Structure 1
Amino acid sequence: MKTILVPTDFSDTAYNAARYALHLARQVGTTRVVLYHAYELIVPVPDVPDPIPVIDPEDLKQSSETGLSLMRSRLQADLPEGVTLLTRSENQLLQAYIDQVAKEEQADLIVMGITGGSGVEEMLLGSNALDVMKETHTPLIIVPGEASFREINTVVFACDFRKVTENTPIQPLKLLLDAFRARLFVVNVDHEKRHFTADTPFETLVMDTLLADYTPEYRFVENESVVEGILTFADQEKADIIITVPRQHGFLAGLFHRSRTRQLAFHSHIPLLVIRE
């Protein structure tokens, strides 16, 4: 894993995520960490009663570069030996351009922070991390604001065992599992076998074949709430990261509906690794 991309807005949460990325770099042998700030120039709209003040693009650029320089300086104490910390600043909309940046930087992973919320707060505030999650096809680690880095020794992979071959991004998943070299739990949450089908035993066997090199341990958790079931199990096993695969289509009531991943991201104190199909 050569490069980790860390989008930042210079908040405390972003600094925490950057520190997490640097410690993770030490564990997985990353050699480049790129701090990325996307600032968006607001263009005045004609005939608007309360016009938006015009901001000089050069001022925005200078402010962005100054923030990145300061951040880079403050992170030097956490920089592992052999890791280069770089910066990149652009006038872009983050979620629209993030995949292009990841491609240009040859990033294997994106790391971002998120601040916890609940109820109406999380619905209204949203999150840059969740916006990026919807758009990027690069694996994304979402780091809760209060989470500190723990070496990844235990991984929980949340799975619904539906169309495993079709829906599991197995190559990026294997690359990350190879880097972590951690104990792997494959966890399915259900309630009174509502989602158990005639295909479930076969799909479980398929998953076991795909992950045979990692000696996965399977757990079937009984809980009405998929999110609560995952988090409770992860806490019990002292998991260091939770892996989830948001679905574009399919089993809308299951774990991988985007709203469930959103709940996990906001309420988990354990970092969440999102791998898109």
Structure 2
Amino acid sequence: MKTILIPVDFSEGSLHSCRYALKLIENESVKIHLFHIYNDQVILPDAGMPENMESDVFFNSDIIEALRKQAELQLNELKKEVENIIRSNGQQVKVETLLQGGDPRWEITEVCEELKPDLVIMGTRGLGKKGFLEGSMASKIMGKAPVPVLAVPENYTGFSFRNIMYPTHFNKLDIHALEQVFILFNHLDFQIHVCHFHLKKQDEEADILMAELEKAFEKEKADGKISFYLQEAQDKETALKDFAQQHQIDLIAFLPEKKHPLKYIFSSHHLRKKDFFKLELPMLALPE
């Protein structure tokens, strides 16, 4: 891992995401880009619009420039805080800042195309309900970004990476996704727990598909790096929660399918990203 992009909105969660990233990096030499998107569109009510102006959107350059300057000051302050943590940790990490006006959903995706970071780390809540890093925004970025996106809940206090959960519905890209996890975290000592939950007491198709998946990772399984589980479950939320607690899961990795997110992990119940958000654990969305 060489480059990490961290979208920030200057909430407490922004610094929390930075701390999480530094723990994940350990002693690796990595470059971190702190990225903030400020609002460059000011909407005025009809009463405040100049005469003969048809559009309901008015760009006020003075206001936008003030927003940009304020964001720049806050971004530099955050950079100083992060650099202080890096020095106290004795890490070899370089921090750079990026500032851009626009819509976070598009700007984060575009900067990923330009920078090609190995990983995006972002919080799942921002400054109040309308913070741009709230859960719904993180979920949208997960489905759009061309690189892995790791979302960290603001109230998550753990910094361990020993147990990673990978729920599968036997997507043809599972092998590629799991290989991405091994490459991304190859500097860490961790175990992947591949699990499939089903409602039937016996599911011969699931048995066959899981056996095929295990065969692809025979060496990793022999080394204790990966385990496979077929579990009967009646309620998806309970099954997820129980599995996470039983195996002391620190991170959930998954493929955010664009049309039908995580469909068919349960044979008759769809499991979606929102179900993972309820667990209040870090989530790693792997690009297809």
TM-score by length of 2: 0.79
Q: Is the 8 A contact 1:156 1:234 kept in 2?
A: yes
Bigger Rg, structure 1 or 2: 2
* Aligned amino acid, residue 32 of structure 2: V
What is the identity percentage for the equivalent residue pairs of Structure 1 and Structure 2? 21
- Quote the residue 1:262 is aligned against: 274
Aligned to 1:48: 46
Q: Match for 1:185 among 169, 193, 196?
A: 193
Query: Aligned-pair distance for 1:105?
Result: 2.2
Kept in 2, the 8 Å contact 1:23–1:149? The answer is no
1:21 Cα offset (Å): 1.0
Q: Is 1:22 matched up with 2:32?
A: no
Native 8 Å contact 2:31 2:93 kept in 1: yes
SS of aligned partner of 2:280: coil
Unaligned runs of 5+ in 1: none
RMSD: 3.0
Distance 1:245 1:228, change over 3 A: farther
Offset of 1:165 from its aligned partner? Answer: 4.4
The aligned length equals: 264
2:82 is matched with 75
In the alignment, which of 258, 271, 274 is matched to residue 282 of structure 2?
Answer: 271
**Contiguous gaps of at least 5 residues in structure 2:** 50-56
Stretches of 4+ aligned residues off by more than 4 angstroms: 49-53, 165-168
Q: In the TM superposition, what are the counterparts of 1:68-217 in structure 2 within 5 Å?
A: 68-79=75-86, 80=89, 81-115=91-125, 127-161=136-170, 163-165=171-173, 169-193=177-201, 196=203, 198-215=204-221, 216-217=226-227
Tell me the CA shift for residue 263 of structure 1. Answer: 2.6
Code of the aligned partner of 2:124: I
CA shift, 1:149, in A, is 4.2
TM-score (norm 1): 0.82
CA displacement 1:125-145 (0-9 Å, x = unmatched): 753212211211211111111
Match of 2:241 among 215, 226, 231: 231
From 246, 251, 256, the equivalent of 1:241 is 251
Contact 1:22 1:33 in 2 (8 A): no
